[in-house]
Amino acid sequence: MSPQHFLIFFLFLLSFHSLTSITAQDTDFVHQIDRNLLGLDMKKEKLSHFKFYWHDIQSGQNPTSVRVVSPPLNLNTTTLFGLVNMIDNPLTLGPELSSKVVGKAQGFYASASQSEVGLLMAQNFAFIEGKYNGSTITILGRNPVFNKVREMPVIGGSGLFRFARGYAEATTHVFNYKNGDATVEYNVYVFHY
Ligand SMILES: *[C@@H]1O[C@H](CO)[C@@H](O)[C@H](O)[C@H]1NC(C)=O
Ligand SMILES: *[C@@H]1O[C@H](CO)[C@@H](O)[C@H](O)[C@H]1NC(C)=O
């Protein structure tokens, strides 16, 4: 190859390189990576079933569920439409509040239906038990509380629940009509690594 030809070839390579480098693949903003670099080996994905009880404690000196927004007084509704409660509800292994605490349900629920008591649930299950200590599962879903079983999506998680997906089924165990306290059984089915 003569020096001129080499130069032309070199310039061709250079322009080819600058053409490819302006495609989205190679910017500093986004890169494709091998999933195994994050320990996300597909074969290691597992399906776990968690069962625990969720305690909504509104009564007494130390409520874990507090009303932060009341339904507007001018609305004639029996569904508490507009209500918002902030929660830091204990999650226990057994139905009794005295049984082992495995985490807290932190978030809020809001009355989002005018035709029934239907809650929007936005909560993180923050676990403290064993290897799950510090990991969270995030639930965002609809909860028509007087239905026997309510299904809510698991929309993600952190720690051991990175990339989590799945669903939770909630069933009321006890509801105290006098003071509003409730114990709800949660069964959570979640894919995670
Ligand atoms: C509220 O609604 C109920 C039935 O939906 C009705 O019987 C009642 O009169 C209403 N009350 C007011 C103050 O509008
Ligand atoms: C969970 O982790 C926190 C922070 O690392 C630690 O302080 C706490 O003792 C742990 N709890 C349990 C039950 O292991």
Q: Which ligand is nearest to the CA of 75?
A: 1
CA of 162 to the centre of ligand 1 (A): 48
> What is the structure's pLDDT at 12?
53
Residue with the smallest CA separation from ligand 2 atom 12 is 128
Q: Residue 77: nearest ligand to its CA?
A: 1
Quick one: pLDDT at residue 74? 86
Instruction: Check whether 1 has a pLDDT greater than 80.
Output: no
- pLDDT score for 10: 53
* Mean pLDDT across 28-39: 90
Rounded Cα–Cα distance for residues 193 and 131 (Å) = 13
Give how far Cα 140 sits from Cα of 13, 54, 125, 134, 167, Å: 52, 16, 11, 19, 10
Mean per-residue pLDDT for 64-87?
93
**Topology classification of domain 45-192:** AOC barrel-like (2.40.480)
Q: How far is the CA of 72 from the centre of ligand 1 (A)?
A: 15
Q: Is 100 in the pocket of ligand 2 (CB under 6 A)?
A: no
Neighbouring C-alpha atoms within 13 Å toward the C-beta of 181: 14
**Does the C-beta of 128 come closer than 6 Å to ligand 2?**
yes
